[in-house]
Amino acid sequence: MSDAGIPDIQRWSEEVARDPAAPAFLSLARAYRRQGRRDAALRICLRALERQPTHVEGHALLALLYLETGEREKASDEWATVLRLDPGNFDAHRGLGFVYLERGDYDAARRHLEEAARVRPEDPAVRDALALARAGGVGAPAGASGGAAGASAGADAVMPAAGAAETQGGAGAAGHTASREPRSVFEELMADSRFLGALVLDVRGAVTAGTLAMGGQGGDDVLGAVFGEAVEEAARLAGVLGIGAWQGILLHTDAALLNLSPLGGGYTLVVAGTPDAPDDWMLRTADRARALGRAFMGV
Amino acid sequence: MRRGDLTDVIDALREPVRAFVRDARVRVALVVDPSGQLLAQQGLTNGYEVANVASLAAAAHASARALAQLTAAERWNYLHQVGRERQLFLAPFKTPAEELILVAIFDDDSSLGLVLLYFEDFARRVGDLPQFRTVDAGGSAETFEADLEAGLRHIMPPDWL
Amino acid sequence: MSDRLTDAVGRLSRIPGVLGALLVDAEAGLPVVGELPDDSVAPAAAALAASAYRRTGRAVGGANLGRLASFRLEAASGQVLIAGGGGLLVVVIAEPGTPLGLVQFEARQVAEALS
């Protein structure tokens, strides 16, 4: 990408002054960022996103700007937003992969970097970082030790290109060690008539393994979003009450007994039973399902 | 209030307002000063609506404050109006520099409790901003219209005004 | 009515392992009556418990998974049980590892009595 000339910047500035969410905001913010005017770039992105909160490239650029000012949490939030809007986004998977690598969360790093590598297998930074994540942080290949900073190295290379990020849909089951069919991971639990199924959800709420034999509307993928809401609110509640990280949620409805629990590596396990199933049966079944889910996912 | 540093103030408020909207799950949030000058807004895309809400908020604040004084109450805390689909929350909060007003509009994705919970955080965060740590000159009734327009010009695109 | 509510909260709070109980206005997300070890957290607990219950209930209902009757959260240093009862929610906070069978039974009784 060539540097923008002054006339371009003037024109973009005028467009953005007339309408902060004008398409030119992205070009202007990128130009300011290249000039080292990060604060100005940040302001332009924030103003545009107020009016266009679903603008994927705006969030991706904001993530980079936060990263460059050392605000890794905010950068991670922005990449997470990008993935909600565009689950296969290369830059967001790559950025989160580097952030997790830096934190020492190798499972989560590997998962994101594998998604990134699926989109751009030739990207050397992703390749090196993936090798590092797979080795559990041991024996870092040269050039892969830059941590999250690697996500912004070669700035323009990281810039999202519209439509460039295309990965498989929800059921990739990246990183699983077993060779069985993802939908049949929990098959051995089906012998119990109270067991209605189980799902493994990834950070985006997409179903990665398992299935539910019950009346959800719109298939299992919709259920992922449903349970994402329960988990999000539970984490907020646990935080404000100071009772530590959430370990499980049990939902009684008149149609089912549902158990949600973290599986590790950013995955969530959902187990469903008949509404008359006792709580302790559910807790035991969820334990067994967790073991099966972890073995399958390799977490 | 007339401000030479209006752009700076508006920029500083952007992130706290964004966080408040996200955490309290409100649809609309505006920050207005007692003279009706709009300092921040998120959620409304129509300049006419923004101008109306800002000036009505300032008027509501003035009358609620007068009523509080009449009844010997030190200050009023908040005003909450429940509509059929949407609810309105209007509350004053103090910063070292001046009093400001938050207006929030929310639906059943949020609740009064949730708004009150994050309003406290929001008010503290704004009070800690360097832009609100020093006392500025007060506004007057004569400057009301000009101030309102100045705020709108900074926050809304010109073709919406 | 308020005596009835206070009695209900007292009954829940006396169950071994229970740290506190709260009745919450489900729509407003505000505490109605409660006994918590630290009263200052009551507004936040009420707001977030109501939000968790409402959003989860709406999502579960929208996905055709039935009507939510209770929401139980287990965390590293505590447990929270939320049961719906008409316009009020019963929120119980307990120590980790406390068997919640009795709590759940009582909370549902209270919720049903209030609805």
Q: Of A203, A116, A105, which is closest to residue A160 (Cα–Cα)?
A: A116
How far is residue A17's CA from residue A65's CA, in Å, rounded to a whole number? 21
Q: Which two tokens stand for residue A177?
A: 């060690």
Q: Which two tokens stand for residue A57?
A: 């490239």
How far is residue B58's CA from residue B55's CA, in Å, rounded to a whole number? 5
The upper half-sphere exposure of residue A86, i.e. CA atoms within 13 Å in the direction of its Cβ, equals: 24
Cα C53 to its chain centre, rounded Å, is 9
pLDDT at residue C23 is higher than 50: yes
Q: What is the pLDDT of residues A210-245, one digit of tens each?
A: 988 765 444 555 666 667 777 878 888 888 888 888
A299 with A265: CB under 8 angstroms?
A: yes
What DSSP string describes C35-80? E-SSGGGHHHHHHHHHHHHHHHHHHHHHTT---EEEEEEEETTEEE
pTM exceeding the 0.90 threshold for the entire prediction: no
- CB distance A244–C75 less than 8 Å? yes
Q: Averaged over A161-179, what is the pLDDT?
A: 34
- Burial-class residue B140 by CB neighbours within 10 Å (0-12, 13-18, 19+): exposed
Of the two residues C46 and A170, the one the predictor is more confident about is C46
A227 with A257: CB under 8 angstroms?
A: no
Domains in chain B, CATH or no CATH each? 6-160 (3.30.450.30)
Question: Sorting pLDDT into bands at 50, 70 and 90, what band is A1?
Answer: very low
Of the two residues C27 and A266, the one the predictor is more confident about is C27
Cα A4 to its chain centre, rounded Å, is 32
ipTM metric: 0.91
pLDDT at residue A179 is higher than 70: no
How far is residue A45's CA from residue B156's CA, in Å, rounded to a whole number? 15
CATH superfamily of A54-166: Tetratricopeptide repeat domain (1.25.40.10)
For residue A275, list chain C residues with Cβ-Cβ distance below 8 A.
Answer: 66
Best residue in C22, C23, C25, C27 to probe B by mutation, most B CBs within 10 Å?
Answer: C27
- pLDDT of amino acid A147: 43
- Which residues are CB-contacts of A258 (< 8 A; sequence separation ≥ 6)? A227, A249, A250, A251, A270, A271, A272, A273, C60, C65
Question: Sorting pLDDT into bands at 50, 70 and 90, what band is B56?
Answer: confident
User: By percentage, how much of chain A surpasses pLDDT 90?
Assistant: 20
For residue B109, list chain C residues with Cβ-Cβ distance below 8 A.
Answer: 55
| Radius of gyration, alpha carbons of chain B | 15
Q: Which secondary-structure segment (H or E) carries A133?
A: helix A124-134
Q: What are the CA-CA distances from residue A201 to residues A94, A107, A264, A295 (Å)?
A: 20, 15, 11, 15
Q: How far is B160 from chain A (nearest CA, A)?
A: 9
A279–chain C Cβ distance below 8 A for any pair: yes
Residues 24-53 of C with CB under 8 A from A: 41, 44-45, 48-49, 51-52
B112 with B87: CB under 8 angstroms?
A: yes
- CB distance C59–A217 less than 8 Å? no
Lowest mean pLDDT among A22-36, B48-62, C65-79, C85-99: B48-62
How far is residue B98's CA from residue C10's CA, in Å, rounded to a whole number? 44
pLDDT at residue B156 is higher than 60: no
Q: How far is A50 from chain B (nearest CA, A)?
A: 6
Q: What are the CA-CA distances from residue A60 to residues A39, A52, A76 (Å)?
A: 16, 13, 10
Q: What is the mean pLDDT of chain B?
A: 81
- pLDDT of amino acid B154: 59
For residue A47, list chain B residues with Cβ-Cβ distance below 8 A.
Answer: 14
CATH superfamily of A171-297: Dynein light chain 2a, cytoplasmic (3.30.450.30)
Q: How many CB atoms sit inside 10 A of residue B144's CB?
A: 17
- CB distance B14–A20 less than 8 Å? no
C60 with C53: CB under 8 angstroms?
A: no
**Where do the structural domains in chain A lie, given as residue ranges?**
54-166, 171-297
Q: What is the pLDDT of residues B10-52, one digit of tens each?
A: 889 988 998 899 889 998 999 999 888 889 988 876 666 777 8
How far is residue C38's CA from residue C8's CA, in Å, rounded to a whole number? 19
- Which residues are CB-contacts of A35 (< 8 A; sequence separation ≥ 6)? none
Q: How far is A211 from chain C (nearest CA, A)?
A: 15
pLDDT at residue B112 is higher than 50: yes
CATH 3.40.50.12780 fits C2-114, yes or no: no
- pLDDT of amino acid B139: 52
Q: What is the pLDDT of residues C52-92, one digit of tens each?
A: 999 888 888 877 888 999 999 999 899 999 998 778 999 99
pLDDT at residue A34 is higher than 60: yes
Q: Which two tokens stand for residue A48?
A: 């545009």
